[in-house]
Amino acid sequence: MNRYNIAIIKGDGIGPEIVDEAIKVLDAVCSKEDIELSYEEYLMGGNAYDVTGNPLPDETVDGCKKSDAILFGAIGGDKWDGLERHLRPESGLLRLRSELGVYANLRPTSVFDELVDASTIKPEVLKGVDLFVVRELTGGIYFGQPREKNADMAFNTMVYTKEEIKRIAIVAFDSAMKRRKQVCSIDKANVLEVSQLWRETVEEVAKDYPEVTLSHMYVDNAAMQLVRNPRQFDVMLTGNIFGDILSDEASMISGSIGLLPSASVGGKVGLFEPIHGSAPDIAGQGISNPIATIMSAAMMLRFALGEESAADRIEKAVALVLKDGYRTKDLSDYGAKEVCSTTEIGSIIADYVAKI
């Protein structure tokens, strides 16, 4: 039996609800795959600030570093928006990513046939979409120095080193080798010197992957092409701020932000989370969609623990549950045979996992 220690960060808003359902599904798959997961829960975000005065307590950092992987829900909410920047929930998440050294954010986007009408994009444009965004996560304008704000002026600095670009490019090309062997690198090299270095470095890395076709696209055109013809993309390689924007745009291709997972890897311990926020407006109502978190748990099994069979089992179960017409409220208008609460859909997926 393979045994692993998993750090659990439920977070704020709907975070506890969706993480609980992911754990339910993980327990189901572990019983079928001869895996044992031990969970240890830690605080981060607004709830951590309320308890400790710090959105990322040292205990959380230490516990996460000692784990085999981290499953995370969501953080933030209006309650904490008035805090100083370094005390806000989002600052805790940025610091945790930096502490862990997870420089690569992986965001798969595909379209379930049963939900092709859920997107605002025409079905004929969506069918067959299967793309993979590789976003650099610990550099760029979010972390660059100097940065300053006063009453009359504010500025941030976009900085990338050659080594930072090289290591994220390697992740993208390695990913492409397991897929359709195409990388589209997104930049703004016609305007930004940072992007010129980005493009030059990506082209150098490409020489080590002769089987992979490399193309370049300016970020503004990429934003347009994502809704015009998303099927053209296999692996999209982007910097931090461009990737933040484009991956959220890509999420709407699926029809609901509640469906898509993500992984932050590259350091010793990976962080796995849904791409959506904490949605405090629906917290406690039992209507949140836990599928993105459940699929993030599948990514955790695959990318952090090497448990491919268990990850496949969860992904197949989710696909079958959707095919059979089970929906949460956000998807109730699209082929729903039964509209389920958060806990109901989690239990149904766990049951399907056990049957596959």
Where the chain has pLDDT below 50, the residues are: none
Q: Give the chain's domain count.
A: 2
Same domain, 97 and 131: no
CA distance 265 to 236: 16
Same domain, 133 and 223: yes
Q: Checking phi first, is residue 140 left (phi over 0); if not, alpha (psi -120 to 50) or beta? A: left
Those residues with Cβ within 8 angstroms of residue 191's Cβ, 6 or more apart along the chain or in another chain: none
Same domain, 250 and 263: no
Do the Cβ atoms of 202 and 179 come closer than 8 Å? no
Q: Which of 220, 254, 288 is the last residue of a domain?
A: 254
3-class DSSP assignment, residue 341? coil
Q: Which of 224, 254, 284 is the last residue of a domain?
A: 254
Two tokens at 320? Answer: 């079958």
CATH at residue 167: 3.40.718.10
Those residues with Cβ within 8 angstroms of residue 288's Cβ, 6 or more apart along the chain or in another chain: 14, 17, 18, 258, 279, 282, 328, 342
Those residues with Cβ within 8 angstroms of residue 198's Cβ, 6 or more apart along the chain or in another chain: 160, 165, 185, 187, 189, 239
pLDDT of residue 119: 87
User: CA-based angle 331:110:243, to the nearest 5?
Assistant: 105
Which of 238, 232, 206 lies closest to 219, judged by CA?
238
Please confirm whether the linkage preceding 230 is cis (ω < 30° from 0).
no
CA distance 126 to 129: 6
Same domain, 202 and 234: yes
Same domain, 250 and 261: no
Q: What is the CA radius of gyration of the chain?
A: 20
Q: Model confidence over 58-83: pLDDT tens digits?
A: 999 999 999 999 999 999 999 999 99
CA distance 119 to 117: 5
pLDDT of residue 251: 81
Same domain, 208 and 224: yes
Which of 186, 145, 148, 147 lies closest to 165, judged by CA?
186
Same domain, 219 and 319: no
Distance of CA 352 to the CA centre of its chain: 24
Which of 15, 8, 21, 68 lies closest to 294, judged by CA?
21
Same domain, 187 and 161: yes
As a whole number of angstroms, the longest Cα–Cα distance in the chain is 62
Same domain, 271 and 344: yes
Same domain, 38 and 65: yes
Same domain, 99 and 167: no
Two tokens at 146? Answer: 């100097």
Two tokens at 126? Answer: 């969506």
Do the Cβ atoms of 313 and 326 come closer than 8 Å? no
CA distance 237 to 164: 13
pLDDT of residue 304: 96
Strand intervals (E) in the chain: 2-11, 35-41, 69-74, 104-110, 130-136, 148-149, 154-155, 182-187, 213-218, 235-238, 261-265, 271-274, 326-327, 338-339
Q: Which of 237, 254, 271 is the last residue of a domain?
A: 254
pLDDT of residue 256: 80
Q: Checking phi first, is residue 335 left (phi over 0); if not, alpha (psi -120 to 50) or beta? A: left
Same domain, 71 and 131: no
pLDDT of residue 252: 80
Q: What residues are labeled active site? A: 142, 188, 220, 244, 248
pLDDT of residue 255: 79
Residue whose pair of structure tokens reads 């503004």 in the numeric block = 220
Count each helix (H run) and each strand (E run) in the chain, helices first. 12, 14
pLDDT of residue 258: 87
Q: Which domain holds residue 248?
A: 119-254
User: CA-based angle 64:70:73, to the nearest 5?
Assistant: 120
C-alpha distances in Å from residue 300, one per residue of 19, 197, 244: 13, 32, 21
pLDDT of residue 300: 98
